[in-house]
Structure formats: C-alpha cells, structure tokens
Structure 1
Amino acid sequence: MARFSASVGLSPKRYARLARFGRVLLRLEKQPDTGLAEIAQAAGYADQAHFNRDFRDFAGISPGEYRKAGGAGRHVPEKRR
C-alpha cells in the first residue's frame, strides 16, 4: 500500500473511489435519461446515500444538482447571476 500511495499520490481506496466516480460521470453524460439509483447500483455503490456522499465529496454538489446544472463529462456549468 505504501508503494502504491508513493507512486500514485493517493491511497488505493481513494484511487478506486475516484476511478468509480469518473465512470459515473461518463455514464451520466452518455445516458442522461438513466435514473440515478440505477447508475449508483451499476457503479457498485451499496446504496443511494453512499453514492450521494461520494458524489458530493468529489464534485461538491449532489448528483441531482449536477444533472440540473447541465453537467457534462467532468464539468459543471458556472451558475449565472
């Protein structure tokens, strides 16, 4: 584990969480009509709350807020005032 962390800069668990999050973002972009619960389940999250916590941890917003903001790929549009 120490070798991995030294090489990658992240713990193996954090790396795996980020990789899963990246796959979720791609799925949200490519399948905009798929329900969030289905995306969470397909990505391997234990439940919707686990999915929401990870999403908020990495994106700073919930998956629903991401969709409403028109997030595509790995970007969230800036809110206009």
Structure 2
Amino acid sequence: MKNVQISYELFMLLLRYYLIEDKSSGEKIRIGLEKKLDALVDRELYTKYKTAPTDEEREKARTEYLDRRGVPDSFRW
C-alpha cells in the first residue's frame, strides 16, 4: 500500500469540507486533488520510462510523459 502526501492547505480544506460541512471550498478541493492526480500520473509515467524492461515500452512511456508535460516534438531528441 502506497502513501500519498498532500499539502497542509488541501488537508485542512478537506477536513472543513467533511467534518464541518463547509461546502464553500469544494472547487478548491477539486482543483487541488486534480493537480495531485496529475503529478502522480506524471511520476508513474516517468518511472515506467526509466525502468521499462524493453525499449519499446520505454519509448512509449517516454512519449506519453513528454506529451503530458507539453514538450513539443521539435524539442525532443
């Protein structure tokens, strides 16, 4: 089981949302969780790129990672 760290601010917003039922920060929570999910996916693709057993899998993961990061094709090697 892996652990995921979130910012203190996001944690406090989640506590307020669920424990105090303060629904005013729902949009901030959604944005914060989306950013965290994007970071997790980026990290997983990067790790797969670095540790893939075959060149084909490695290149696929590298391409996906660079596409997600917004690196233009003309800038890639």
* TM-score class normalised by the smaller sequence: 0.3 to 0.5
Higher RCO (CA-CA < 8 Å; seq separation 6+): 1
Which is greater in Rg? 2
